């Protein structure tokens, strides 16, 4: 059974290698494929994913791996890695400098650690369950903002926004009038890490996948924040909608998000 220190050191090393790959190729002309009308993938996504998964399988061939760019085939192992090799692919493909590598690991269906690495800023967010969350060695805590009207929030829109009724438009419109400001930067993993760091006071988004939230959600909780679904229930990796905050504005966020959802029916 791998030890805590071994898991953390491995994840940091692999995230660094993948992040340096992204950094070296940032700004180049990329081969872009579309998984949907606006959902794209580049060759660098796949190169980063191959690097990470090869490293995991070389060290722990019996561990399960869930990653964004390949079908998930569970072996029933107690250990599982959850990988987003490039969160913020659309940003990356356009040369917009906001993206990261996100790697989380879980034991017996509980996420116990994660790394989110922004290679352009050389910022490494690290979390371990029960041990806190750190940015480049400095312990993080959520913000102390307690009034939604003074809060800086972040959100995003689903890749199937052109087809779905769950498009986050009404939620965004309402929250934009209730918060101090909203940012839509394009990387859920970094948005969650920023909530943990106190740079953002809250974040919500619809229709996310486990690799988007696994590491970041644990970071928010370990920094003293709250993570739920839109109804205020416990958020799990199978929950597509997420609300994360410093805790102080959580009830206010849920109130207005529920109202926006109700207005759609």
The string of pLDDT tens digits covering residues 212-252 is 999 999 999 999 999 999 999 999 999 999 999 999 999 99
Best-predicted range by mean pLDDT among 42-56, 112-126, 156-170?
112-126
Q: What is the pLDDT of residue 38?
A: 47
Residue pLDDT, tens place only, 63-79: 999 998 777 888 889 99
- What percentage of the chain exceeds 70 in pLDDT? 95
How far, in Å, CA of 39 to CA of 174, rounded?
A: 26
Residue range(s) occupied by CATH 3.40.190.80 in the chain? 148-262
Residue pLDDT, tens place only, 19-29: 999 999 998 77
User: Looking at the domain 4-139, which fold is it?
Assistant: Fructose-1,6-Bisphosphatase; Chain A, domain 1 (3.30.540)
Residue 56, H or E segment: helix 43-59
Q: Does domain 148-262 have CATH number 3.10.20.520?
A: no
Tokens of 193: 């890490």
Q: What is the pLDDT of residue 35?
A: 56
Q: What letter does residue 121 receive in the DSSP assignment? A: T
The answer to whether 131 and 180 have CB atoms below 8 angstroms apart is no
Tokens of 29: 């002309």
Residue range(s) occupied by CATH 3.30.540.10 in the chain? 4-139
Q: Report the predicted TM-score, pTM, of the whole model to 2 decimal places.
A: 0.95
* 3 state SS of 60: coil
């Amino acid at each position: 059974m791998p030890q805590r220190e071994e898991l953390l050191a491995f994840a940091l090393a692999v995230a660094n290698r993948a992040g340096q790959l992204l950094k070296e190729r940032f700004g180049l002309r990329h081969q872009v494929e579309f998984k949907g009308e606006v959902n794209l993938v580049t060759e660098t996504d796949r190169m980063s994913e191959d690097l990470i998964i090869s490293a995991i399988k070389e060290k722990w061939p019996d561990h399960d791996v869930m990653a964004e760019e390949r079908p998930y085939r569970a072996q029933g192992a107690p250990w599982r890695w959850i990988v987003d090799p490039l969160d913020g692919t659309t940003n990356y493909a356009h040369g917009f400098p906001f993206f990261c590598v996100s790697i989380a690991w879980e034991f017996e269906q509980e996420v116990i650690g994660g790394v989110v690495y922004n290679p352009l800023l050389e910022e490494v967010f690290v979390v371990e369950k029960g041990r806190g969350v750190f940015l480049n060695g400095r312990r993080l805590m959520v913000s102390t903002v307690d009034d939604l009207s003074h809060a800086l929030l972040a959100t995003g829109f689903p890749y199937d926004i052109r087809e779905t009724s769950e498009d986050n438009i009404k939620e965004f419109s309402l929250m934009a009038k209730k918060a101090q400001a909203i940012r839509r930067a394009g990387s859920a993993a970094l948005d969650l890490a920023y909530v943990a760091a106190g740079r953002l006071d809250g974040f919500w988004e619809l229709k996310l996948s486990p690799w988007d939230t696994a590491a970041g959600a644990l970071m928010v909780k370990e920094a003293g924040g709250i993570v739920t679904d839109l109804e205020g229930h416990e958020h799990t990796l199978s929950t597509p909608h997420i609300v994360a905050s410093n805790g102080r504005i959580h009830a206010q966020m849920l109130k207005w998000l529920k109202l926006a959802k109700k207005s759609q029916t």
